[in-house]
Amino acid sequence: MTELGKRLEEARKQKNLTLDELQSITKIQKRYLKAIEEGNYGILPGKFYARAFIRQYAEAVGLDSERIFDEFVSDIPKSEVEAPSGLSSRTQTKRTPVSSTSSVLFAILPKLLVFVLVVSVAVFIWLYMQKLDIAKNTDNDSVNTVESQTDENITIVNQDDEEGTENPNEETNTNDQQTETPNDNAPTQEQPTEEDDQQLLELEKLDGRTPYTTYELKGTDQFIVELSSTGRSYIGIINGIGKSFYGGELGNGEKLNYDFSAEEEIEFNIGRTLDVQLKINGQPVNYPFPPTEKVHQKVKIIFNKVTQ
């Protein structure tokens, strides 16, 4: 029996309490109470319960439990953190790091979210800039630009057209009708100039989403081109081997002039024929398809140059 056990037993007997009566008061099993008096803490559920039972025993017999713990500190089992369920200290040790990890995670979570947000915004801006670059390159691409212009609503006209301003091609169409031959089934049409025997013969006429017409220019040694615009239209000009002379937008009132006398073949890609007039050696060229029906057209000129 330890000194603490003797002190507790003496206090119990002074209160005239039996172990059975003390069991009823403290709700601690009699065998545990007897083990505390004998200092046999090994049969108790654990050190946590040993300290708790000693505290209840002391208070039940009228002793100051805090003073008892201070006075008999060497006899009382050392304190350990134990769960009421009786889990071992090993289990408690395993659970502690998990709690620490969770605390660290919650601490860095706001910073992590801010980082993800910043990265997401940066990626969005980068993708947006890439989209702008692609759109810009597409505008400079003659094929893509022209294809997009074919979707234009041909019922939309310029303000001058709404006010009754005549289309510059109307006069050309009138002149062309006056120069047509009586034979409507003739495969070619001629556009003679006033100064020489220049002829512009239609060789092939292909309808489709982008109408394509091929002409032959002969009877002259000059191939002078003028393009003028009364609105805004894409213009693409290449020769027979794919060399580009122009690829961009022609604004209202702007003109392009070229001397292609040294070329054998020139292709004109006109995005909006309603606003663009094409002249060869000073003579207007009628579009093979009505501009009000086929806004976007391609015209190829094969130059059969007269050699002196």
Dump pLDDT digits (tens) for 152-165.
Answer: 443 444 444 444 44
Q: Which helix or strand (DSSP H or E) is residue 26 part of?
A: helix 19-26
Return the pLDDT at 39.
82
268 has pLDDT over 90: yes
3-state helix, strand, coil in the chain (%, to 5): 40, 20, 40
pLDDT tens, residue by residue, 59-88: 998 998 898 888 888 888 887 654 444 444
pTM equals: 0.38
pLDDT bucket at 95, cuts 50 / 70 / 90: very low
Task: Reduce the DSSP state of residue 68 to 3 states and report it.
Answer: helix
Q: What residue type is assigned to position 129 of the chain?
A: M
Task: For residue 58, give the nearest of 80, 81, 33 by alpha carbon.
Answer: 33
The backbone torsions φ and ψ at residue 185, rounded to the nearest 5 degrees and listed phi first, read -90, 5
**Across 19-23, 40-44, 119-123, 150-154, least confident range:** 150-154
Distances (CA, A) of 152 to 205, 249, 294: 22, 15, 10
Q: Residue 82 and residue 50: Cα distance in Å, rounded?
A: 11
pLDDT tens, residue by residue, 219-238: 999 999 999 999 999 999 99
Which structural domains are found in the chain, ordered by start?
3-71 (1.10.260.40), 159-175+190-304 (no CATH)
